[in-house]
Amino acid sequence: MASLKDTDKQKRSPYTVDRGVPGGFEGETVTRRRLFEGGALAVGGLASAAFGLPALGFALGPVFSDPSPRRLRDVGAEAEFNDQTYIPRVITIAPDSGEAGKTTIYVRKRSQQDTDRLDQPYIVISTRCAHLGCPVRYVQASERFICPCHGGIYDRYGKVAGGPPVRPLDRFETVVQGGRVLVGDRFSLNSKLERFSTRDPSNHVDGLWQYIYPPRPTT
């Protein structure tokens, strides 16, 4: 019968044979089965992290983002705009992209009849269609924004009035300084004209769909 000292020594041994592990081989410290199990768990953990971490980053990114405008562009004096119609302006949204980094916006002064709750002195609407990103244009006669590509139609507030778009047109931050109208960052709206972080075209911001299409860090 082995002594207590010999038994403790066997338990402390790093080798599988000394520990009496079934299928152990001389000189090995880990059985092949345990090695493959550990490898499978490690691969599974890496795969889960590859899928889970980006989604977590997209979900938590807006929480830690800076809400202050990153850039303000001067689009003209207040006297150049009115509360009856939209005035087109061209601004740069990507300074390092040349002409491709410019976009057209529509600017209108807020009137007492405007019922949306967005605290902006001016209504500045993006021309990027919320369907596939094609440029829309404003038709004063019908007070509609119209996308000529796929038939998207929006009312004078940018809300969807017909066609395939999934949400209203995006808007831009606005401030007034020294009698000049300054345009800041773009943001998205849901069907109730409630503000959301910027979404890509075709991405919903209503109901459960808004969680399937989380905002990207840049867009």
Q: What is the pLDDT of residues 133-170, one digit of tens each?
A: 999 999 999 999 999 999 999 999 999 999 999 999 99
Percentage of the residues of the chain whose pLDDT score is greater than 90: 47
Return the domain boundaries, the chain.
Answer: 73-212
pLDDT averaged over the chain?
Answer: 79
Question: Quick check: 86 and 76 in contact, CB under 8 A?
Answer: no
pLDDT of 113 > 80? The answer is yes
User: In the prediction, which pLDDT does 215 show?
Assistant: 64
Kindly report the CATH class assigned to 73-212: mainly beta
